Structure formats: structure tokens, C-alpha cells
Amino acid sequence: MQVTDKELRARMKKSPAEARRALFDEYCNYVYAIVINKLRNCCSREDVEECVSDVFLDFFKGFDNLGKHNEELKGFIGVIAKRRAIDMYRRMCKGMGRTVSIDDDDLDEIASSENVEHEAEKTERNELLLEKVHELGEPDSTIIIQQYYYNRTTLEIGKAISMTAAAVQKRSIRARKRLRSMLTEIGVSI
């Protein structure tokens, strides 16, 4: 279950230790994905873990000022992670006697078409979307899942849940509108 920025801020006022734990649990995989994406070719696992720890340390130090400006926590921690990872990359390259830009296309990289950071964000967004679809309730959640996940027609869905195709179509339209507004409320756009 995803914790909202508002809930995390409220926890921080009530119990800072509990809030730090919740923040770490919420964003650890996201931060790790960003850091490993930048450092996978030049750093050891221990270096990556040290960088992730430094990201959270910087995040917790800046959390009080963050509340005054009402920034989004995920964006804030994402920026810290990218900057920390780039700094560590530069330090490691300097130690090896190399001077290389992190954006250099000629870097020796593991051949992969996978962008870990993008995939982590996509997975998180998909989990949130599925959670909101389930919040629609029945039969709307079934209709949306059957329609968009299984690519079933309104006629096929109607037969499966004992509704007419026209009724399924009407419910689908209403469910999508509700889903869009639910996602807009939490700041997610699709």
C-alpha cells in the first residue's frame, strides 16, 4: 500500500522515527534503482549501498525545509539520488585515473535496453493504477480489467458478468471518468 506525501508529513510531526522508517520503506527501491542505473558499471555493491544511505541522510536533513515549500517527496528524493550518484561516479572515475562524463555514450556498459529507473517508476505507477481500479468496486473493476488487461470486447465481458454489451459500455465510460478523477486527486496523470 502506497503512503501519500500528506500521510508521511503528518507522521513526521507525530513520530519522526516511525516516519523515517515509512519514508525509507516507501522510497528505498526507487532510490536504489536510480543509483544502480548510474553506478552499475564503476562501483561495487558496497559503494552503491553507501550512496543509497547518503541519499536518505541528505533527504532526512532537508525534510524540514521541504515541508515549507510543499514539494513532492518522490521528486525531491529522486533529485537527491541522481545528484549523489553522479557525484560518486565522478569520485570513482577520478580514483581510477579516468575523467569521463556520466552522459558519455562511449562508456563501457553492460549491454541492456532496460532503463532501471524508468522501469521502477513504471512499475510503481502500474501498482497505483491497479489499486485505484480495485477501489472502483464491482462490477466496474472487473469491466476495466477485462477490457484493458485482457483486451476483451464489451460483448464478451457482458456475457461473462451477465450484462448487456450496452450496459458494459456505459459502466466502462463512467468507471474511466471516476478512475481519472481518482488519479488526478493524487497527482497522477495517464
In this prediction, residue 85 carries a pLDDT of 87
CATH number of 1-112: 1.10.1740.10
Helix/strand/coil (H/E/C) assignment for every residue in the chain: CCCCHHHHHHHHHHCHHHHHHHHHHHHHHHHHHHHHHHHCCCCCHHHHHHHHHHHHHHHHHHHHHHHHHCCCHHHHHHHHHHHHHHHHHHHHHHHCCCCCCCCCCCCCCCCCCCCHHHHHHHHHHHHHHHHHHHHCCCCHHHHHHHHHCCCCCHHHHHHHHCCCHHHHHHHHHHHHHHHHHHHHHCCCCC
- Angle, helices 16-39 vs 116-135, to 10°: value is 140
Class of CATH domain 113-190: mainly alpha
Q: Which has the closest alpha carbon to 89: 32, 59, 44, 53? A: 44
**pLDDT for position 173:** 92
Every domain of the chain and the residues it spans: 1-112, 113-190
Q: Which stretches of the chain score pLDDT less than 50?
A: 1, 68-70, 106-111
- Give pTM, 2 decimals: 0.48
**pLDDT tens digit sequence for 122-164:** 777 777 787 888 888 888 888 888 887 778 888 888 888 888 9
